[in-house]
């Protein structure tokens, strides 16, 4: 398969909002997720994006977890931006285990942004394997991108340290159409 399913409105001329849920580990991963979302939606010509951003360690708070689950159930695109290849903290597994059974099968995209601690060798990427299994179970397309963020130290803004809950992301302009993964260098389409 060479492209994502089209993100098209149901009726011609009808405005369609693309709902995006982003879970990120730290400031560097958040910035990478923001760049990636802007790149994806610019290429796709997406007109309206409604996004919620959730800090990974915030998922241990019940109210934050509930909000993140609710948004993931309805999201057209779920982005996970992390700095590990080995696994996730327990609240992440709780989050996935809570929204996964309630999503419509075969709907949406899962974007996995995995920052490797060093250039990839022959080591396994358990986080990528887990996210691949989640996408398969949900019937979602998986886009996986790895990047070496080892030299980029995690930074936390004062607001993030206090809050750890969603923040808004400005939406790019354009019309909604298919996203061609071939126009996204460095991406690989997972099964």
Q: For position 13, what pLDDT does the model report?
A: 54
pLDDT tier at 39 (50, 70, 90 boundaries)? confident
Q: Count how many Cα atoms sit within 13 Å of the Cα of residue 33 in the half-sphere of its side chain.
A: 32
3's CB contacts (< 8 A; 6+ apart) are 178, 179, 180, 181, 182
Are 71 and 52 a contacting pair, CB within 8 Å?
yes
| 137-177 tens-digit pLDDT | 999 999 999 887 654 444 444 444 334 433 333 333 332 23
Q: For position 84, what pLDDT does the model report?
A: 76
What mean pLDDT, rounded, does the chain reach? 75
Paired tokens of 11: 């009726």
Q: For position 150, what pLDDT does the model report?
A: 56
Q: Domains plus CATH for the chain?
A: 17-179 (3.40.50.360)
Q: For position 118, what pLDDT does the model report?
A: 64
DSSP 112-142: EEEEESSS--S---HHHHHHHHHHHHHT-EE
Range in 16-20, 26-30, 51-55 the model is least confident about: 16-20
Query: Among residues of the chain, what percentage have pLDDT more than 70?
Result: 66
Question: Across residues 93-120, what is the average pLDDT?
Answer: 88
pTM of the predicted model, to two decimals? 0.72
| 61-106 tens-digit pLDDT | 999 999 999 999 999 999 999 987 788 999 999 999 999 999 988 8
């Amino acid at each position: 398969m060479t492209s994502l399913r089209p993100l098209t409105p149901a009726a011609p001329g009808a405005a369609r909002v693309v709902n995006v849920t982003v879970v990120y580990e730290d400031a560097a991963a958040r910035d990478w997720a923001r760049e990636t979302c802007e790149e994806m939606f610019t290429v796709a010509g997406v007109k309206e994006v409604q996004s919620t951003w959730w800090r990974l360690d915030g998922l241990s708070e019940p109210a934050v977890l509930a909000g993140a689950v609710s948004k993931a159930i309805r999201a057209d695109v779920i982005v996970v931006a992390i700095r590990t290849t080995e696994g996730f903290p327990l609240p992440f597994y709780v989050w996935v285990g809570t929204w996964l059974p309630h999503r419509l099968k075969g709907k949406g995209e899962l974007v996995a942004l995995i920052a490797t601690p060093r250039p990839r060798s022959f080591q396994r990427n358990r986080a990528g394997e887990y996210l691949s299994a989640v996408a398969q179970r949900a019937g979602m397309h998986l886009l996986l991108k790895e990047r070496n963020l080892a030299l980029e130290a995690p930074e936390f803004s004062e607001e993030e340290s206090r809050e750890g809950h969603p923040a808004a992301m400005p939406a790019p302009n354009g019309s909604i159409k298919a996203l061609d993964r071939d126009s996204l260098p460095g991406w690989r389409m997972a099964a």
